[in-house]
Structure 1
Amino acid sequence: MNVDIHSAKKTTKIFMSTPLCMVAVQENESPSPGLPKRRRRGANINWVHVFRQMALCAVGIPLAFGCYLIINQHFFGSIQIVGHSMSPTLRENGQYLVKRWKLRDYTPKAQDIVVIKDPADQGLSVERIVAVEGQSVHFKDGKVFVDGKELQERYLSPGTLTYTYSQKHEQLILCGRNQFFVLGDNRLASIDSRSYGPVPRANIRGLLLAR
Structure 2
Amino acid sequence: MLLKKKHKKTVTQVNRDKSPPSVWGDILYLVSKLLMVGFVLAILYFFVFGLLRYNDDGMKPALKDGDLVVYYRLDKRYSIGDLLVYSYKGKERVARVIATEGSTIDINENGLIINGSPQQEQDIYKDTLLYKEGASFPMKVPAGQLFVLGDNRTTAVDSRAFGTIPIQDTHGKVVTVLRRRGF
Corresponding pairs, count: 158
Pick closer, same or farther for the CA change 1:167–1:117 going to 2, 3 Å.
closer
Q: Report the structure, 1 or 2, having the larger strand content.
A: 2
Please give the TM-score of this superposition, normalised by the length of structure 2: 0.76
In structure 1, the partner of 2:15 is none
Structure with the higher fraction of residues in helix conformation? 1
Name the counterpart of 2:78.
108
Query: Match for 2:107: what amino acid?
Result: F
Matched, 1:201 2:167: yes
In structure 1, what residue type is equivalent to 2:82? D
Aligned match of 1:78: 51
1: distance between equivalents of 2:133 and 2:174? 33
Larger Rg: 1
1:123 matched to which residue of 2?
91
Aligned partners of 2:110 and 2:118 also within 8 Å:
no
Question: How far off its partner does 1:142 sit?
Answer: 5.8
Equivalent of residue 156 in structure 2, options 179, 183, 190: 190
- 1:181 is paired with a residue whose SS is strand
Kindly state the Cα deviation for residue 48 of structure 1 after the two structures are TM-superposed: 5.2
Which residue does 1:210 correspond to in 2? 176
Give the % identical residues. 22
Segments of 5+ residues of structure 1 without an aligned counterpart are 1-45
Residue 90 of structure 1 corresponds to 63
Write the mapping of 1:154-193 to structure 2, written as runs, cut at 5 A.
Answer: 154-157=122-125, 160-166=126-132, 171-193=137-159
Question: More relative contact order in 1 or in 2 (CA 8 Å, sep 6+)?
Answer: 2
Q: Distance in 2 between matches of 1:97 and 1:155?
A: 22
Deviation sequence 1:96-142 (CA, Å, 0-9, x none): 332224x2xx4211111111132xx1332110010111111101116
Paired position in structure 2 for 1:36:
none
Q: Structure 2: where are the runs of 5+ without partners?
A: 1-18, 178-183
Measured against aligned partners, the alpha-carbon deviations of 1:144-179 in whole angstroms (never above 9, x if no partner) come to: 00111111211212xx111111269x8312211111
Shift of 1:89: 1.2
Cα offset for 1:210? Answer: 2.6
What amino acid maps onto 2:41 in structure 1?
Y
